[in-house]
Amino acid sequence: MVQATNLGFPRIGGQRETKKLVENFWAGKITEQALDEAAVKLRAENWKLQQAQGLSQIPSGDFSFYDHVLDHSVMFNVIPQRFRHLAEGHERNFAIGRGIQKPATETQEKVDIEAQEMKKWFDTNYHYIVPEFETNQTFQLSANAKTVQEFNEAKALGIHTRPVVLGPLSFLLLGKTAKNSAGLDLITLLPKVLPVYEELFAQLAAAGADWVQVDEPVLALDVSAAVVAEYQTTYTRLTAAAPKLKFLIATYFGRIGNNVSFIKDSGVAGLHIDLVRAPEQLENVIANIGQTQVLSLGLIDGRNIWKTNLAAALKLAETAVAALGSDRVFVAPSCSLLHAPVTLRFEKRLASKNPELFDWLAYSEEKCKEVHIIAHALNHGADSVKAELTDNARSIEARRVSPHTTNAAVRQRLEAIVPDQLRRRNVFPTRQVTQHEANPLPAFPTTTIGSFPQTKEIRLARAKFTKGEIDAATYHDFIKKEIAFCVKEQEALKIDVLVHGEAERNDMVAYFGERLEGYIFSENGWIASYGSRCVRPPIIFGDVHRVNPMTITETVYAQSLTSKPMKGMLTGPVTCLQWSFVRDDIPRSVVCTQLALAIRDEVADLEKAGIVHIQVDEPAIREGLPLRSVDFDFYLQWAVDAFLLSTTGVQDKTIIHTHMCYSDFQDIFQAIVRMDADVLTIENSKSDMRILGAFSTHGYNAEIGPGVFDIHSPRVPSTHEMKERADAMLKYIPRGNLWINPDCGLKTRGWKEVRESLTNMVAVAEALRAASA
């Protein structure tokens, strides 16, 4: 019988209960015990919901308060030395993810510890806490191993689950070496960590587990033959040590390719592959697995919100069943449903106001049902779910022929794009001279990345306006006051290039989506981003175009309040694409180009309004990079072209800024150069200057602002700490090209810590100027 399975379920709760619990714990409003008791209820709800949808293998161990990789590190005692003196428990775990800062008291010394590094989880907008390994690293399974504990929780409810564990090679290869362990080859830690995995698997087997899902997403990357050989050795050992367990190796986000070669003789019972991202890999994988191994088919898109074309998915599944037999096939989403919203049950407004589009959607709960329908059809014939398949076919066809998804004028404008629209009038050195003459700034200019704290008052006013409790005039007056306050604060802090603070923006992508045709918005389409932060990606369902200016009113008003330059703040086309739920009926490159034309129109209007500094943020451009290097060039060509189309229609004196989040820039360095921005700001403070090495090695002649403090942490770094970073930057960046700024926007922080951090940041710039005088 074909099994209906799942790889992971959203941890945030249908109404973001986890976020609220965690933030209440941080605020001291609930105890650690209350936090744990509430989590038990949430996990039970998740398991029962999946069970109700007809799944036969339900995951456990996929819940997390902050990050599943952080949880795995703590479970294996991979805790950096700087946190080891803190008491075990949630407070220490949160400190690892967020940093911690406490003043000295009569009974306690001052505590001031930086968070661990955070990076994007492959090509998603989810962030994980990077494991930090030392040369003398020791591994030890925690006394109450989280994975075992949660398996037993489900067992007590009468639900037999499939525990989920991050695999040993992905655990190591997704990590980093500690500052005191330069030169450590992480793969050499395998002999130390494998005994702990053996202990964990022994405990799971003793608890009654039969299958265990071992996530090895690194298998979707380019890895060396030596690493593939380590996979062979590792899983031969682990499976032999736990003969009662059946191991399912889970890969996702791309094709496994030649890395599949180790599977046949590894002792594992099964392999999961992503057939949404890489349907073409099915034949190769079938040919390369053992005669008794199970193949788990990732047929349901775990990263988007559209209904699956069940007829097409069923046809692909039938190919696998014909080759392997029904007992050797699982049906599943493509990846963990962590990246999809929880349920459509709370989308009351969308269902009533736009029933046509609502009919096209499927969130995690509905995706579990789709998995069940496919498995049932394979086991009992299509007629056994005829009504469900017929209804699905109706939805798919209705979306295909809907007149609301296409716009002839947009298509015509795309066809009319010419190469000159992708070039600035002059090269950067020429522009830089013009810009410095027309818009002089002090050495080491200071700025921020765009947003300032989204206070409770701002959120309340926005909610009242959305609900119709206050009128537009009242709301816009409130926003003007917030902008004026933000400008005044920046002037008091002596920042050189100001921003208006983005009080009117709920989200850097959603704000623009609300003002562009082709977008629609959910009420409860929340997904996890990092820690307790959730985002609600807008939905691109049709051709995108701009109808009216989107940012001119607020930006021009802010500029009228100050003699200092004001940056116009826009989100770039690639980031708008990456951080939306994107239509899947046309190529992503086409959607991105549509977005680029809309942003190009806004850039032109800002310039006409007298705004000299225009920032077009692209924090997600590296995030969108394919996992395999053979696919890099095609993506980077259209992605950079989209950025250029957005930004190149301006005069030389107009200064184009862009911002990028944590990235392995060496992979895209030439693409960054081709983007031809005048000023690049990057998230940098927790990278130990590794990021800047690429700029020094490859050469970068434009101006650059590597972040001097981490905005994801509530701690306030000292002037000395930031100055050390800035001094280190000068080893890589010419003095005349260095800007001083935070890592990223400040919307998630409070005003007190923002003032203190920016005061210290400006002091760094002043010290650098004094030293250069």
- Enumerate the active-site residues: 712
CA 18 to chain centre: 18
Is 437 part of any known ligand binding site?
A: no
Is 624 part of any known ligand binding site?
A: no
Is 698 part of any known ligand binding site?
A: no
Residue among 73, 72, 184 nearest 136 (CA): 184
DSSP string, 709-727: S-SSSS----HHHHHHHHH
Give dist(CA 773, CA 766) in Å, integer.
11
Is 17 part of any known ligand binding site?
A: no
Is 368 part of any known ligand binding site?
A: no
Give dist(CA 639, CA 671) in Å, integer.
9
Is 592 part of any known ligand binding site?
A: no
Q: How many CA atoms lie within 13 A of 58 on its CB side?
A: 28
Two structure tokens written together for 234 = 């590792």
DSSP state of 144: T
Give dist(CA 761, CA 491) in Å, integer.
14
Is 264 part of any known ligand binding site?
A: no
CB 606 within 8 A of CB 568: yes
Is 659 part of any known ligand binding site?
A: yes
Phi and psi dihedrals of 37, rounded to 5?
Answer: -65, -40
Three-state secondary-structure class, residue 571: strand
Phi and psi dihedrals of 756, rounded to 5?
Answer: -65, -45
Give dist(CA 317, CA 266) in Å, integer.
25
What region does 505 belong to: left with phi over 0, alpha with psi -120 to 50, or beta?
A: beta
What region does 478 belong to: left with phi over 0, alpha with psi -120 to 50, or beta?
A: alpha
Give dist(CA 306, CA 402) in Å, integer.
15
Is 356 part of any known ligand binding site?
A: no
Is 739 part of any known ligand binding site?
A: no
Residue among 336, 364, 286 nearest 63 (CA): 336
Two structure tokens written together for 679 = 């000023």
* Token pair 């940093």: residue: 99
Is 335 part of any known ligand binding site?
A: no
Angle (deg, nearest 10), helices 751-772 and 472-493: 40
Give dist(CA 184, CA 25) in Å, integer.
37
Is 576 part of any known ligand binding site?
A: no
Given CA atoms 220, 225, 227, 230 in this order, what sign does their dihedral have? positive
Is 404 part of any known ligand binding site?
A: no
> Per the annotation, where are the binding residues for L-methionine?
449-451, 502, 617
> Per the annotation, where are the binding residues for Zn(2+)?
659, 661, 683, 744
> Per the annotation, where are the binding residues?
19, 125, 449-451, 502, 533-534, 579, 617, 659, 661, 683, 744
